[in-house]
Amino acid sequence: MSPVETSVSRREQRHSLALTLGLALVGINLLVALLTLFWTPYDPLNASGGRLEAPSLLHWLGTDRLGRDLLTQLMIGARTALLVGTGAVAIGATVGVSLGVLAAFATRLADDVMAATLDILIAFPTLLLAMLVVAASDSASLWTAILALGLAISATVARLTRILAKRVLRQDYIVASRTSGTSWAGVVFRHVLPNIWPTLSVNFALQFGLAVIAEASLSYLGLGAPPPNASWGRLLQEAQGTVYTAPIGAIAPGIALVALVIGMNLLADGLRDIGDPTRGRSR
């Protein structure tokens, strides 16, 4: 085997390892989230043991300061995290990609206005933007958090889409396709979206992770999902006062959060490499 082939296959091995790990991390999260719809080890809302019990065979991760099973809380937190990540990215992707493609086609003036607006929106930290939206709506709910994060994501996605789409629109194959009678709508769906998708999808995974973290932060600040929607952010907040006496209360949701975010990024990277027919060539 030549040295070139060796390095390519080694890279592919590394890619498939990353993909497997990503699939596993996200897959476990998804399974746990689905499981909680039917079954949890204990009642999530009521005490099932003494306060702040250490991990035991009955309570694998111990109990919180109200005597509720921590593993149960953590499992429901997985559901919340997936819901927030998926919901926020779905909103962000739909609104952001539409705006970004429109901007790429807009006249010079409209494009400049749109670009400036997006730059201002992006200059706001996501969390601050989300706090404003949550504050503007009367009550904090999971859905206002998702909506707020989705809007924040759509600004970033719109800006990225606009740049990527403009680059594709300058390519020769767009003119070539137009000479055979492809309409602008055809150009968008057949050429622009497929060609920007590999980069966009990786960004969606990144945004998914950021949304999950942001929701945790909102919950930590008391602006996120209210009970009974346990969220990892609220678990972290509640563990704050007892982090020295019962560190597992902070460590467990922290690890869960990091694992999901990393898993999502590995998955997106791996999927992009599979979806890219030009992979294996120099880039």
Partner 1 sequence: MTALLNIQGLHIRAGDKPLVSDLSFSIRPGERIGLIGESGSGKSMTAMAATGLLPVSIGVSGSIELDSQQVVGATDSVMNRLRGAAAAVVFQEPLTALDPLMKIGRQIAEPVRRRLERESGKTSKDVVQREVRDLIDKVALPQPERIINSYPHEVSGGQRQRVAIAMALACRPKLLIADEPTTALDVTTQAEILKLLDQLVRETGMALLFISHDLPVVAQVVERVIVLKNGVAVEEGPVKAVFGNPQHDYTKTLVEAARLFDEALGATG
Which spans of this chain sit near partner 1 (rule: CB under 8 A)?
A: 171-173, 175-184, 190-191, 194-195, 276-278, 281
Distance in Å, CB of 79 to partner 1, minimum = 36
Nearer to partner 1, 27 or 194 (CB): 194
Distance in Å, CB of 147 to partner 1, minimum = 33
Smallest CA-to-CA distance from 53 within 68, 75, 74, 73 is with 68
Residue bearing tokens 């809007």: 151
Smallest CA-to-CA distance from 264 within 26, 91, 28, 43 is with 26
Distance in Å, CB of 200 to partner 1, minimum = 13
CA–CA distance, 215 with 147 (Å, rounded to integer):
11
**73 near 230, Cβ under 8 Å?**
yes
Q: Tell me whether residue 162 is exposed, middle or buried, using C-beta atoms within 10 angstroms of its C-beta: 0 to 12, 13 to 18, 19 or more.
A: buried
CA–CA distance, 15 with 17 (Å, rounded to integer):
5
CA–CA distance, 151 with 126 (Å, rounded to integer):
9
Nearer to partner 1, 139 or 278 (CB): 278
Distance in Å, CB of 262 to partner 1, minimum = 28
Nearer to partner 1, 193 or 221 (CB): 193
Distance in Å, CB of 164 to partner 1, minimum = 13
CA–CA distance, 121 with 132 (Å, rounded to integer):
12
Distance in Å, CB of 112 to partner 1, minimum = 15
Query: Helix, strand or coil for residue 7?
Result: helix
CA–CA distance, 136 with 150 (Å, rounded to integer):
16
Nearer to partner 1, 57 or 185 (CB): 185
Nearer to partner 1, 181 or 228 (CB): 181
CA–CA distance, 126 with 210 (Å, rounded to integer):
9
CA–CA distance, 95 with 219 (Å, rounded to integer):
25
Tokens of 264: 């999502």
Distance in Å, CB of 274 to partner 1, minimum = 13
Nearer to partner 1, 101 or 131 (CB): 101
Nearer to partner 1, 124 or 197 (CB): 197
